[in-house]
Copies of this chain bind each other. A is one copy, B any other.
Protein backbone atom coordinates (compact mmCIF):
# COMPACT_ATOMS: atom_id res chain seq x y z
CA UNK A 1 0.00 0.00 0.00
CA UNK A 2 2.99 2.28 0.58
CA UNK A 3 3.73 1.95 -3.14
CA UNK A 4 0.26 3.38 -3.73
CA UNK A 5 1.05 6.60 -1.95
CA UNK A 6 4.36 6.88 -3.70
CA UNK A 7 3.00 6.32 -7.20
CA UNK A 8 0.13 8.69 -6.64
CA UNK A 9 2.32 11.51 -5.43
CA UNK A 10 4.54 11.03 -8.48
CA UNK A 11 1.47 11.15 -10.71
CA UNK A 12 0.04 14.23 -9.03
CA UNK A 13 3.28 16.18 -9.32
CA UNK A 14 3.62 15.61 -13.02
CA UNK A 15 0.03 15.45 -14.21
CA UNK A 16 -0.06 19.24 -14.55
CA UNK A 17 2.88 19.27 -16.95
CA UNK A 18 1.70 16.40 -19.17
CA UNK A 19 -0.55 16.62 -22.20
CA UNK A 20 0.59 20.02 -23.42
CA UNK A 21 0.12 20.97 -27.04
CA UNK A 22 2.87 21.02 -29.65
CA UNK A 23 2.61 24.62 -30.75
CA UNK A 24 4.86 24.44 -33.78
CA UNK A 25 2.64 21.99 -35.68
CA UNK A 26 -0.32 24.20 -36.41
CA UNK A 27 -1.87 21.85 -38.95
CA UNK A 28 -2.86 19.52 -36.11
CA UNK A 29 -6.33 20.16 -34.70
CA UNK A 30 -6.00 21.05 -31.03
CA UNK A 31 -9.18 19.33 -29.91
CA UNK A 32 -7.50 16.39 -28.16
CA UNK A 33 -9.44 14.52 -25.49
CA UNK A 34 -8.41 11.69 -23.13
CA UNK A 35 -8.83 8.28 -24.77
CA UNK A 36 -11.57 6.02 -23.42
CA UNK A 37 -8.91 3.31 -23.17
CA UNK A 38 -6.90 5.30 -20.61
CA UNK A 39 -6.54 3.99 -17.09
CA UNK A 40 -9.08 5.48 -14.65
CA UNK A 41 -8.54 9.19 -14.10
CA UNK A 42 -5.63 9.55 -16.55
CA UNK A 43 -5.61 12.55 -18.90
CA UNK A 44 -3.01 11.07 -21.29
CA UNK A 45 -2.98 9.48 -23.89
CA UNK A 46 -5.26 11.72 -25.96
CA UNK A 47 -7.03 11.55 -29.34
CA UNK A 48 -8.18 14.43 -31.57
CA UNK A 49 -11.03 14.68 -34.07
CA UNK A 50 -8.67 13.71 -36.90
CA UNK A 51 -7.90 10.42 -35.12
CA UNK A 52 -4.36 11.45 -34.16
CA UNK A 53 -2.92 9.91 -31.01
CA UNK A 54 -0.98 12.20 -28.64
CA UNK A 55 1.27 10.25 -26.28
CA UNK A 56 3.04 11.72 -23.23
CA UNK A 57 5.42 10.19 -20.74
CA UNK A 58 7.79 11.48 -18.08
CA UNK A 59 11.31 10.21 -18.89
CA UNK A 60 13.73 12.94 -17.82
CA UNK A 61 16.94 10.97 -18.46
CA UNK A 62 15.92 9.33 -21.73
CA UNK A 63 17.70 10.07 -25.02
CA UNK A 64 14.93 8.97 -27.36
CA UNK A 65 11.23 8.20 -26.86
CA UNK A 66 8.85 7.04 -29.59
CA UNK A 67 5.18 6.24 -30.03
CA UNK A 68 4.76 3.03 -32.04
CA UNK A 69 1.32 2.57 -33.60
CA UNK A 70 0.07 0.94 -36.81
CA UNK A 71 3.64 -0.08 -37.75
CA UNK A 72 4.96 3.51 -37.65
CA UNK A 73 7.24 5.01 -34.98
CA UNK A 74 6.80 8.70 -34.15
CA UNK A 75 9.51 10.63 -32.30
CA UNK A 76 8.35 12.37 -29.13
CA UNK A 77 9.87 15.70 -28.03
CA UNK A 78 11.11 16.45 -24.50
CA UNK A 79 10.10 19.59 -22.60
CA UNK A 80 11.99 21.26 -19.76
CA UNK A 81 10.21 19.09 -17.18
CA UNK A 82 11.43 15.88 -18.82
CA UNK A 83 8.03 15.07 -20.30
CA UNK A 84 8.10 13.63 -23.83
CA UNK A 85 5.08 14.30 -26.07
CA UNK A 86 4.24 13.61 -29.67
CA UNK A 87 1.43 12.93 -32.13
CA UNK A 88 0.76 10.18 -34.62
CA UNK A 89 -0.75 10.54 -38.04
CA UNK A 90 -4.55 10.10 -38.18
CA UNK A 91 -5.59 6.52 -37.37
CA UNK A 92 -8.59 4.53 -38.58
CA UNK A 93 -11.65 4.63 -36.36
CA UNK A 94 -11.76 1.91 -33.74
CA UNK A 95 -9.27 0.03 -31.62
CA UNK A 96 -5.50 -0.18 -32.16
CA UNK A 97 -2.64 -1.78 -30.24
CA UNK A 98 0.37 0.45 -29.58
CA UNK A 99 3.50 0.74 -27.44
CA UNK A 100 6.24 3.15 -26.49
CA UNK A 101 9.99 2.86 -27.09
CA UNK A 102 12.25 4.36 -24.42
CA UNK A 103 15.95 4.21 -25.31
CA UNK A 104 15.50 0.96 -27.18
CA UNK A 105 13.08 -0.69 -24.71
CA UNK A 106 9.61 -1.54 -26.01
CA UNK A 107 7.19 -0.98 -23.13
CA UNK A 108 3.48 -0.48 -22.59
CA UNK A 109 2.22 3.05 -22.05
CA UNK A 110 1.78 3.27 -18.25
CA UNK A 111 -1.33 5.42 -18.78
CA UNK A 112 -3.31 2.99 -20.92
CA UNK A 113 -5.46 -0.02 -20.16
CA UNK A 114 -3.97 -3.33 -21.31
CA UNK A 115 -5.32 -5.71 -23.94
CA UNK A 116 -4.10 -9.07 -25.21
CA UNK A 117 -3.09 -8.99 -28.86
CA UNK A 118 0.07 -9.39 -30.91
CA UNK A 119 1.00 -12.18 -28.48
CA UNK A 120 1.23 -9.94 -25.44
CA UNK A 121 -0.74 -7.86 -22.93
CA UNK A 122 -0.01 -4.29 -23.95
CA UNK A 123 -1.45 -0.86 -24.62
CA UNK A 124 -4.50 -0.26 -26.74
CA UNK A 125 -6.25 2.92 -27.81
CA UNK A 126 -9.76 3.65 -28.96
CA UNK A 127 -10.23 6.16 -31.80
CA UNK A 128 -13.88 7.27 -31.46
CA UNK A 129 -15.88 5.94 -34.42
CA UNK A 130 -18.87 7.65 -36.01
CA UNK A 131 -20.91 4.50 -35.42
CA UNK A 132 -19.70 3.90 -31.84
CA UNK A 133 -23.28 4.01 -30.59
CA UNK A 134 -23.79 0.31 -31.38
CA UNK A 135 -21.25 -0.65 -28.70
CA UNK A 136 -21.90 2.22 -26.28
CA UNK A 137 -22.81 1.38 -22.69
CA UNK A 138 -26.45 2.34 -22.15
CA UNK A 139 -29.00 2.16 -19.38
CA UNK A 140 -30.66 -0.93 -20.83
CA UNK A 141 -30.79 -4.44 -19.35
CA UNK A 142 -27.29 -5.92 -19.37
CA UNK A 143 -26.15 -9.48 -19.85
CA UNK A 144 -23.20 -10.99 -18.00
CA UNK A 145 -19.71 -12.03 -19.03
CA UNK A 146 -18.91 -15.16 -17.05
CA UNK A 147 -15.44 -16.57 -16.59
CA UNK A 148 -15.63 -20.36 -16.51
CA UNK A 149 -12.97 -23.01 -15.90
CA UNK A 150 -13.41 -26.38 -17.59
CA UNK A 151 -11.20 -29.45 -17.63
CA UNK A 152 -9.86 -30.44 -21.03
CA UNK A 153 -8.84 -34.08 -21.00
CA UNK A 154 -7.21 -33.93 -24.44
CA UNK A 155 -4.90 -31.04 -23.52
CA UNK A 156 -4.48 -32.06 -19.85
CA UNK A 157 -5.39 -28.57 -18.80
CA UNK A 158 -7.96 -26.58 -16.89
CA UNK A 159 -9.02 -24.05 -19.49
CA UNK A 160 -10.58 -20.62 -19.15
CA UNK A 161 -13.45 -19.50 -21.36
CA UNK A 162 -15.80 -16.52 -21.26
CA UNK A 163 -19.53 -16.94 -21.67
CA UNK A 164 -21.92 -14.10 -22.49
CA UNK A 165 -25.40 -14.72 -21.15
CA UNK A 166 -28.15 -12.38 -22.39
CA UNK A 167 -29.98 -9.96 -20.03
CA UNK A 168 -33.00 -12.18 -19.46
CA UNK A 169 -31.02 -15.37 -18.82
CA UNK A 170 -31.63 -15.38 -15.07
CA UNK A 171 -35.26 -14.28 -15.28
CA UNK A 172 -37.08 -17.28 -16.77
CA UNK A 173 -35.21 -20.32 -15.52
CA UNK A 174 -37.05 -22.63 -17.90
CA UNK A 175 -36.02 -20.83 -21.06
CA UNK A 176 -33.22 -22.33 -23.17
CA UNK A 177 -30.96 -20.42 -25.60
CA UNK A 178 -29.06 -20.93 -28.86
CA UNK A 179 -25.25 -20.70 -28.67
CA UNK A 180 -22.60 -18.97 -30.79
CA UNK A 181 -18.98 -20.17 -30.44
CA UNK A 182 -16.89 -17.08 -31.25
CA UNK A 183 -13.13 -17.20 -31.88
CA UNK A 184 -10.33 -14.62 -31.64
CA UNK A 185 -7.42 -14.35 -34.09
CA UNK A 186 -3.76 -15.35 -34.11
CA UNK A 187 -1.74 -13.58 -31.39
CA UNK A 188 -4.92 -13.08 -29.38
CA UNK A 189 -6.81 -15.12 -26.81
CA UNK A 190 -10.18 -15.57 -25.11
CA UNK A 191 -10.02 -12.03 -23.64
CA UNK A 192 -10.20 -10.40 -27.10
CA UNK A 193 -13.95 -10.48 -27.71
CA UNK A 194 -15.00 -9.53 -24.14
CA UNK A 195 -12.44 -6.68 -23.88
CA UNK A 196 -11.63 -4.90 -27.16
CA UNK A 197 -14.42 -6.75 -29.01
CA UNK A 198 -17.12 -5.28 -26.70
CA UNK A 199 -19.22 -8.37 -27.34
CA UNK A 200 -21.52 -7.83 -24.35
CA UNK A 201 -22.37 -4.22 -25.22
CA UNK A 202 -22.99 -5.07 -28.89
CA UNK A 203 -25.37 -7.85 -27.87
CA UNK A 204 -27.06 -5.91 -25.02
CA UNK A 205 -27.85 -3.07 -27.46
CA UNK A 206 -29.04 -5.37 -30.27
CA UNK A 207 -31.31 -7.25 -27.86
CA UNK A 208 -32.65 -4.01 -26.31
CA UNK A 209 -33.65 -2.86 -29.80
CA UNK A 210 -35.08 -6.29 -30.68
CA UNK A 211 -32.65 -6.52 -33.58
CA UNK A 212 -31.19 -9.84 -32.44
CA UNK A 213 -32.62 -12.87 -30.73
CA UNK A 214 -31.05 -13.40 -27.29
CA UNK A 215 -28.39 -16.12 -27.43
CA UNK A 216 -25.38 -17.33 -25.46
CA UNK A 217 -21.85 -16.61 -26.76
CA UNK A 218 -18.89 -18.81 -25.78
CA UNK A 219 -15.35 -17.45 -26.24
CA UNK A 220 -12.52 -19.93 -25.64
CA UNK A 221 -8.82 -19.89 -26.43
CA UNK A 222 -8.43 -21.27 -29.98
CA UNK A 223 -4.90 -22.64 -29.46
CA UNK A 224 -3.82 -20.43 -32.35
CA UNK A 225 -0.61 -19.17 -30.75
CA UNK A 226 1.13 -22.52 -30.53
CA UNK A 227 2.74 -21.90 -33.92
CA UNK A 228 4.52 -18.94 -35.39
CA UNK A 229 2.63 -16.61 -37.68
CA UNK A 230 4.73 -17.50 -40.75
CA UNK A 231 3.89 -21.18 -40.34
CA UNK A 232 0.11 -20.91 -40.39
CA UNK A 233 -0.17 -23.39 -43.26
CA UNK A 234 1.18 -26.05 -40.90
CA UNK A 235 -1.59 -25.36 -38.40
CA UNK A 236 -3.32 -28.56 -37.33
CA UNK A 237 -6.98 -27.97 -36.46
CA UNK A 238 -7.43 -31.30 -34.67
CA UNK A 239 -6.30 -30.34 -31.13
CA UNK A 240 -8.66 -27.35 -30.95
CA UNK A 241 -11.44 -29.20 -32.77
CA UNK A 242 -11.23 -31.91 -30.10
CA UNK A 243 -11.39 -29.36 -27.27
CA UNK A 244 -14.32 -27.59 -28.91
CA UNK A 245 -16.43 -30.50 -30.13
CA UNK A 246 -15.66 -33.19 -27.55
CA UNK A 247 -15.09 -31.11 -24.41
CA UNK A 248 -16.29 -27.50 -24.49
CA UNK A 249 -19.65 -27.97 -26.23
CA UNK A 250 -20.65 -30.84 -23.89
CA UNK A 251 -19.53 -28.72 -20.90
CA UNK A 252 -21.57 -25.72 -22.05
CA UNK A 253 -24.63 -27.87 -22.80
CA UNK A 254 -24.33 -29.46 -19.33
CA UNK A 255 -23.81 -26.20 -17.43
CA UNK A 256 -25.92 -23.64 -19.30
CA UNK A 257 -29.55 -23.72 -20.41
CA UNK A 258 -28.77 -24.21 -24.10
CA UNK A 259 -30.78 -25.44 -27.05
CA UNK A 260 -28.58 -28.39 -27.93
CA UNK A 261 -29.65 -29.22 -31.47
CA UNK A 262 -27.62 -28.33 -34.55
CA UNK A 263 -30.10 -25.70 -35.68
CA UNK A 264 -29.36 -23.63 -32.56
CA UNK A 265 -25.55 -23.72 -32.67
CA UNK A 266 -23.35 -21.28 -34.60
CA UNK A 267 -19.63 -20.74 -34.99
CA UNK A 268 -17.75 -17.63 -36.07
CA UNK A 269 -14.27 -16.21 -35.80
CA UNK A 270 -11.96 -13.45 -36.91
CA UNK A 271 -8.79 -13.88 -38.99
CA UNK A 272 -7.24 -17.20 -37.93
CA UNK A 273 -10.39 -17.83 -35.86
CA UNK A 274 -12.26 -17.56 -39.15
CA UNK A 275 -10.00 -20.16 -40.71
CA UNK A 276 -10.69 -22.41 -37.71
CA UNK A 277 -14.41 -21.79 -38.11
CA UNK A 278 -14.32 -22.79 -41.78
CA UNK A 279 -12.29 -25.95 -41.08
CA UNK A 280 -14.41 -27.08 -38.14
CA UNK A 281 -17.88 -26.25 -39.44
CA UNK A 282 -17.30 -27.89 -42.84
CA UNK A 283 -16.29 -31.09 -41.06
CA UNK A 284 -19.17 -30.87 -38.57
CA UNK A 285 -22.31 -30.00 -40.52
CA UNK A 286 -24.38 -31.91 -37.97
CA UNK A 287 -23.08 -29.70 -35.15
CA UNK A 288 -23.32 -26.15 -36.55
CA UNK A 289 -26.01 -24.46 -38.65
CA UNK A 290 -24.72 -20.86 -38.86
CA UNK A 291 -21.20 -19.87 -39.99
CA UNK A 292 -19.47 -16.49 -39.64
CA UNK A 293 -16.11 -15.76 -41.28
CA UNK A 294 -14.68 -12.32 -40.34
CA UNK A 295 -11.54 -11.23 -42.23
CA UNK A 296 -10.33 -14.76 -42.80
CA UNK A 297 -11.23 -16.55 -46.00
CA UNK A 298 -14.61 -17.54 -47.37
CA UNK A 299 -16.50 -20.64 -48.41
CA UNK A 300 -16.70 -21.45 -52.11
CA UNK A 301 -18.67 -24.16 -53.85
CA UNK A 302 -15.37 -26.05 -54.20
CA UNK A 303 -15.13 -26.22 -50.39
CA UNK A 304 -18.51 -27.91 -50.10
CA UNK A 305 -18.47 -31.65 -50.71
CA UNK A 306 -22.21 -32.08 -51.08
CA UNK A 307 -24.06 -28.91 -52.03
CA UNK A 308 -27.57 -30.21 -51.36
CA UNK A 309 -26.57 -31.50 -47.91
CA UNK A 310 -24.84 -28.17 -47.14
CA UNK A 311 -27.89 -26.23 -48.36
CA UNK A 312 -30.18 -28.30 -46.20
CA UNK A 313 -28.12 -28.06 -43.02
CA UNK A 314 -26.50 -24.62 -43.11
CA UNK A 315 -28.93 -21.80 -42.46
CA UNK A 316 -26.52 -18.85 -42.80
CA UNK A 317 -23.04 -18.26 -44.21
CA UNK A 318 -21.73 -14.78 -43.40
CA UNK A 319 -18.43 -13.50 -44.81
CA UNK A 320 -16.97 -10.07 -44.01
CA UNK A 321 -13.86 -7.96 -44.48
CA UNK A 322 -12.66 -4.43 -43.79
CA UNK A 323 -12.81 -2.27 -46.91
CA UNK A 324 -9.04 -1.74 -46.80
CA UNK A 325 -8.56 -5.51 -46.85
CA UNK A 326 -10.72 -5.75 -49.96
CA UNK A 327 -8.66 -2.97 -51.60
CA UNK A 328 -5.44 -4.85 -50.81
CA UNK A 329 -6.86 -8.01 -52.39
CA UNK A 330 -6.82 -6.30 -55.79
CA UNK A 331 -3.01 -6.43 -55.68
CA UNK A 332 -2.63 -9.60 -53.60
CA UNK A 333 -5.46 -12.12 -53.96
CA UNK A 334 -5.94 -14.18 -50.77
CA UNK A 335 -3.99 -17.45 -50.79
CA UNK A 336 -3.53 -20.57 -48.69
CA UNK A 337 -6.19 -21.10 -46.00
CA UNK A 338 -7.55 -17.60 -46.79
CA UNK A 339 -7.87 -18.41 -50.53
CA UNK A 340 -10.54 -17.51 -53.07
CA UNK A 341 -12.30 -14.24 -53.88
CA UNK A 342 -14.70 -13.79 -50.94
CA UNK A 343 -17.31 -11.81 -52.90
CA UNK A 344 -17.35 -14.30 -55.80
CA UNK A 345 -17.43 -17.29 -53.45
CA UNK A 346 -20.35 -15.83 -51.51
CA UNK A 347 -22.23 -14.98 -54.72
CA UNK A 348 -21.76 -18.56 -55.92
CA UNK A 349 -23.25 -19.90 -52.65
CA UNK A 350 -26.19 -17.54 -53.05
CA UNK A 351 -26.80 -18.72 -56.61
CA UNK A 352 -26.82 -22.28 -55.29
CA UNK A 353 -29.71 -21.27 -53.02
CA UNK A 354 -27.73 -20.92 -49.79
CA UNK A 355 -28.42 -17.99 -47.45
CA UNK A 356 -25.02 -16.38 -47.91
CA UNK A 357 -24.15 -12.81 -46.90
CA UNK A 358 -21.18 -10.61 -47.74
CA UNK A 359 -20.40 -7.52 -45.63
CA UNK A 360 -17.67 -4.90 -46.03
CA UNK A 361 -16.83 -2.64 -43.07
CA UNK A 362 -16.28 0.91 -44.38
CA UNK A 363 -12.79 2.43 -44.04
CA UNK A 364 -11.32 -0.23 -41.78
CA UNK A 365 -8.53 -2.77 -42.16
CA UNK A 366 -7.67 -6.08 -40.46
CA UNK A 367 -8.66 -4.72 -37.05
CA UNK A 368 -11.27 -4.81 -34.30
CA UNK A 369 -13.61 -2.17 -35.72
CA UNK A 370 -14.16 -4.48 -38.71
CA UNK A 371 -14.91 -7.37 -36.36
CA UNK A 372 -17.21 -5.45 -34.00
CA UNK A 373 -19.25 -4.41 -37.03
CA UNK A 374 -19.16 -7.95 -38.41
CA UNK A 375 -20.55 -9.35 -35.15
CA UNK A 376 -23.23 -6.65 -35.15
CA UNK A 377 -24.33 -7.66 -38.68
CA UNK A 378 -23.95 -11.41 -38.17
CA UNK A 379 -25.86 -11.49 -34.85
CA UNK A 380 -28.94 -10.11 -36.57
CA UNK A 381 -28.99 -13.06 -38.97
CA UNK A 382 -28.69 -15.75 -36.30
CA UNK A 383 -31.33 -18.27 -35.25
CA UNK A 384 -34.12 -16.58 -37.20
CA UNK A 385 -36.27 -19.67 -37.51
Contacts and interface: CB of A to CB of B under 8 A. Distances in A.
B120 A39 contact: yes
Contact of A104 (B2, B62, B170): B62
A70 to B, nearest CB: 8
B117 A121 contact: no
- Chain A interface category by residue count: 35 or more
B3 A104 contact: no
Interface in A140-176: 142, 144-151, 158, 163, 170, 173
A2 B61 contact: no
A367 B271 CA distance: 42
B105 A57 contact: yes
Interface in A9-68: 10-12, 39-41, 57-65
Contacts of A185: 1
Contacts of A200: 147, 149
**What is the total number of copies of this protein in its complex?**
2
Given A1-B271, A7-B118, A148 B137 contact: no
A99 B113 CA distance: 15
A71 B230 CA distance: 43
- Best-surrounded residue of A110, A117, A158 (most CB of chain B within 10 A): A110
Contact of A229 (B4, B57, B146): B4
A59 B3 CA distance: 25
B6 A71 contact: yes
Given A5-B229, A119-B7, A271-B1, A61 B147 contact: no
Contact of A63 (B61, B117, B120, B148): B61
Contacts of A59: 102-105
A1 B119 contact: no
B119 A137 contact: no
A304 B356 CA distance: 70
B147 A2 contact: no
Contacts of A70: 3
A4 to B, nearest CB: 4
A255 interface: yes
Given A61-B63, A146-B146, A71 B3 contact: yes
Interface string A312-323: 000000000000
A258 to B, nearest CB: 11
A128 interface: no
Contacts of A105: 57-59, 62, 65, 102, 107, 110
Contacts of A60: 103-104
A334 interface: no
A139 interface: yes
A107 to B, nearest CB: 4
A41 B223 CA distance: 13
A271 B2 CA distance: 12
Contact of A1 (B8, B138, B187): B187
A138 B173 CA distance: 29
Contacts of A139: 151, 158
A228 interface: yes
Interface string A106-130: 1110100110011111100000000
A230 B200 CA distance: 38
A106 B105 CA distance: 12
A340 interface: no
The 4 nearest A-B residue pairs measured at CB: A59-B105, A4-B187, A4-B118, A142-B149
Given A103-B103, A147-B147, 11 more contacts: A3-B70, A3-B118, A4-B119, A4-B229, A8-B187, A12-B228, A57-B105, A60-B104, A107-B107, A144-B147, A149-B200
